[in-house]
Amino acid sequence: MAENRINREDVTRETKVRKKSWQRPEVLPSPHPEPGYAFRWVRTSNQGLVDATNVSSKLREGWEPVKASDHPEITMVTVENERFADNVVIGGLMLCKAPIELIGERSEYYQQQTDQQMRSVDNNLMRESDPRMPIFNDRKSKVTFGKGG
């Protein structure tokens, strides 16, 4: 063996740092997460018109407006409505938060609504089925392995 070889551990390669490419900035900045809370942007106005119906429905659902003093990392705060002067409002959207438990309950409620609607559609479809030419409603998927032929 050749004795003039250099040990691999002694040789280091210079790593080139790739130049960071430009990325479009976020339109709506993300707040720092708070344990136990989920965040959402709620529409307060649309095309310059105040959307009080949307705001009041979201507040009744349990969303709370986030105070601008609680999230100083969001610097692009613009006050578009005196009612939300202390809150984070950007481009007609107000940052709100709600407890994660409430979000889970809401998701479960809407999943139940979806399941009921699917059962209703299935029942309606099967009512139209004729024994001479039955309608099959198979929503199951199968995964097979092998040659498939």
Query: How does residue 77 score in pLDDT terms, banded at 50, 70 and 90?
Result: very low
Q: Which of 55, 143, 42 is nearest to 96 (CA)?
A: 42
Please list, in sequence order, all residues whose beta carbon lies within 8 angstroms of the beta carbon of residue 65, skipping any fewer than 6 positions away: 59, 84, 87, 88, 94, 95, 96
Helices (H), the chain: 52-61, 100-127
The percentage of the chain sitting over the pLDDT mark of 70, rounded to a whole number, equals 81
Mean pLDDT of the chain: 82
30 vs 11 pLDDT, higher one: 30
Residue 114 CA to residue 109 CA, distance in Å, equals 9
Please list, in sequence order, all residues whose beta carbon lies within 8 angstroms of the beta carbon of residue 37, skipping any fewer than 6 positions away: 97, 98, 99, 100
Backbone angles phi, psi at 106, to 5 degrees: -65, -45
Residue 99 CA to residue 107 CA, distance in Å, equals 13
Query: How does residue 116 score in pLDDT terms, banded at 50, 70 and 90?
Result: very high
pTM exceeds 0.75 for this model: no
